[in-house]
């Protein structure tokens, strides 16, 4: 009853509008005033609303960007070995090519700043940005708000790759390579299986993702079983928990290319992801090749997820929770949701990483902390859905 009532309210003026147009030629006074009233109404209610809501979300996105910068600045100063703000700024300026200023810092400070703290902060922001962007994109293309970037087995694949590499006694760089390769292989396997299966495309892809994931995690369990319990098993376990400890600039140069390619593709497809949320058939009748866009999104999201997981290990929840928080702030439109998720993810992971390295003398793996934040939020989310 209430619905049809609101419908009447919405439609009445516009039906009147039509009649006003018809009668205005006869010079009918009421017709003219109605028309004037209506034209005023439409400019008052619709167009400025468009502008203000757009402006509001733009401001939110700018605020998130500023938050990122502040978090990065503060994180540079935080740590067990304090660096003064003036020294931090001077060292940064000094690192710009062709600019040299007299050092007021020690070599030890400089080494810590550039080899430990800065790469770690950059990596935390990159990984947070990537996982959130991939999660947001997946939630749209699979029309499911409970999707995370590892739904297609990217994380479990990486875990298996890393576990095998650790069993073989490879270097940490090689472990990252193996994790990256297995992550990509797992997702390709999902796509091949899904292309041969019949039924609802979205469901088939997600189902094969879940299956391949569990296959990969069985492999990880077996690797743990046969691992040497004195050194290999702890390092596999530690890898699975995810951590940004010991990130170097070489790691960043390694992942920068696949990450930026993936992020650029996701960002470019942001409007098409909107249309995909309406379902494949509707998207197709509106001129969007749903299948091709979905494959492009999957490949791009896999690139960024695999690169993230390869260097940091498993960091869960970021890709699920951040897109939801962003959606609450800027709405479901991916033209704003995607940049908002990227910035919020970067700030979030950086702050959580700061907590993980400052909260106690021995670092807590960041994967554990994100779960502490993520799991309660997830529960809140599903209970809220049921009551709505």
29 touching other proteins, by CB under 8 A: no
14 touching other proteins, by CB under 8 A: yes
Q: Which is nearer to other proteins, 47 or 168 (CB)?
A: 47
CA 31/CA 137 separation, integer angstroms: 49
Contacting residue, 170, 235, 331, 377, with other proteins by CB under 8 A: 331
Q: Are 157 and 302 in contact (CB under 8 A)?
A: no
Can you tell me which residue has the tokens 């609303």? 49
136 touching other proteins, by CB under 8 A: no
Contacting residue, 30, 40, 143, 221, with other proteins by CB under 8 A: 143
| Region of 20-28, 160-168, 221-229, 331-339 interacting with other proteins (CB under 8 A) | 331-339
335 touching other proteins, by CB under 8 A: yes
Minimum CB separation of residue 35 from other proteins in Å reads 13
333 touching other proteins, by CB under 8 A: yes
Q: With contacts defined by CB under 8 A, how many residues of the chain interact with other proteins?
A: 46
Span 285-304, contacts to other proteins by CB under 8 A: 285-289, 293
Length of the chain: 388
Minimum CB separation of residue 381 from other proteins in Å reads 14
Q: Are 163 and 223 in contact (CB under 8 A)?
A: yes
Cβ neighbors of 59 (< 8 A, separation 6 or more) are none
Q: Two tokens at 90?
A: 């001077």
282 touching other proteins, by CB under 8 A: yes
Q: Which is nearer to other proteins, 73 or 331 (CB)?
A: 331
Q: Two tokens at 188?
A: 């390709």
Q: Are 121 and 143 in contact (CB under 8 A)?
A: no
Contacting residue, 7, 81, 249, 380, with other proteins by CB under 8 A: 7
CA 327/CA 340 separation, integer angstroms: 8
Contacting residue, 312, 327, 348, 350, with other proteins by CB under 8 A: 327
25 touching other proteins, by CB under 8 A: no
CA 131/CA 307 separation, integer angstroms: 10
Minimum CB separation of residue 15 from other proteins in Å reads 6
Q: What angle do CA 349, 351, 355 make, to 5 degrees?
A: 110
200 touching other proteins, by CB under 8 A: no
13 touching other proteins, by CB under 8 A: yes
274 touching other proteins, by CB under 8 A: yes
Instruction: Tell me how far apart the terminal alpha carbons of the chain are, to the nearest angstrom.
Output: 19
Contacting residue, 159, 165, 269, 315, with other proteins by CB under 8 A: 269
- In whole angstroms, how far apart are CA 302 and each of 89, 134, 154, 286, 324? 36, 8, 7, 27, 20
Minimum CB separation of residue 98 from other proteins in Å reads 37
Q: Are 302 and 154 in contact (CB under 8 A)?
A: yes
Minimum CB separation of residue 51 from other proteins in Å reads 11
201 touching other proteins, by CB under 8 A: no
102 exposure class (CB count in 10 Å sphere: 0-12, 13-18, 19+): exposed
Does residue 38 sit in helix, strand or coil? helix
| Region of 85-93, 105-113, 141-149, 208-216 interacting with other proteins (CB under 8 A) | 141-149
Q: Are 237 and 108 in contact (CB under 8 A)?
A: no
CA 259/CA 179 separation, integer angstroms: 15
Minimum CB separation of residue 301 from other proteins in Å reads 16
The residue ranges that bind other proteins (CB under 8 A) are 3-4, 6-7, 10-11, 13-15, 17-18, 42, 45-47, 49-50, 53, 140, 143-145, 268-272, 274-275, 277-279, 281-282, 284-289, 293, 327, 331-333, 335
């Amino acid at each position: 009853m209430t619905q049809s009532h609101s419908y009447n309210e919405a439609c009445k003026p516009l039906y009147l509008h039509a009649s006003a147009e018809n009668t205005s030629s006869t010079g009918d006074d009421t017709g003219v005033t109605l028309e004037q009233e209506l034209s005023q109404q439409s400019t008052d209610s619709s167009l400025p609303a468009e502008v203000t809501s757009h402006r509001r979300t733009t401001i939110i996105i700018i605020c998130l960007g500023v938050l990122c910068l502040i978090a990065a600045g503060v994180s540079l100063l935080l740590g067990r070995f304090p660096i003064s703000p003036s020294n931090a700024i001077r060292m940064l300026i000094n690192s710009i090519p062709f600019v040299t200023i007299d050092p007021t810092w020690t070599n030890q400070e400089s080494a810590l700043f550039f080899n430990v703290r800065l790469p770690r902060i950059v990596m935390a922001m990159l990984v947070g940005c990537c996982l959130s962007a991939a999660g947001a994109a997946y939630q749209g293309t699979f029309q499911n708000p409970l999707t995370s970037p590892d739904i297609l087995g990217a994380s479990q694949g990486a875990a298996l790759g890393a576990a095998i590499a650790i069993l073989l006694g490879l270097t940490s760089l090689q472990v990252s390579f193996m994790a990256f390769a297995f992550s990509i292989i797992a997702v390709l396997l999902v796509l091949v299986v899904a292309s041969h299966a019949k039924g609802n495309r979205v469901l088939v892809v997600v189902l094969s993702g879940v299956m391949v994931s569990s296959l990969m995690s069985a492999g990880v369990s077996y690797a743990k079983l046969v691992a040497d319990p004195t050194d290999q098993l702890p390092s596999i376990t530690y890898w699975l928990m995810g951590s940004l400890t010991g990130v170097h600039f070489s790691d960043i140069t390694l992942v920068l290319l696949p990450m930026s390619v993936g992020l650029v593709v996701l960002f470019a497809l942001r409007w098409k992801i909107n249309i995909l949320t309406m379902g494949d058939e509707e998207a197709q009748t509106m001129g969007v090749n749903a299948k091709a866009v979905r494959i492009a999104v999957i490949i791009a999201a896999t690139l960024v997820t695999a690169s993230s997981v390869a260097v940091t290990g498993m960091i869960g929840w970021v890709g699920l929770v951040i897109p939801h928080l962003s959606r609450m702030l800027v709405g479901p439109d991916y033209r704003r949701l995607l940049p908002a998720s990227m910035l919020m993810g970067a700030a979030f992971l950086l702050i959580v990483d700061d907590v993980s390295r400052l909260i106690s003398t021995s670092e807590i793996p960041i994967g554990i902390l994100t779960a502490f934040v993520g799991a309660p939020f997830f529960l809140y989310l599903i209970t809220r859905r049921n009551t709505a």
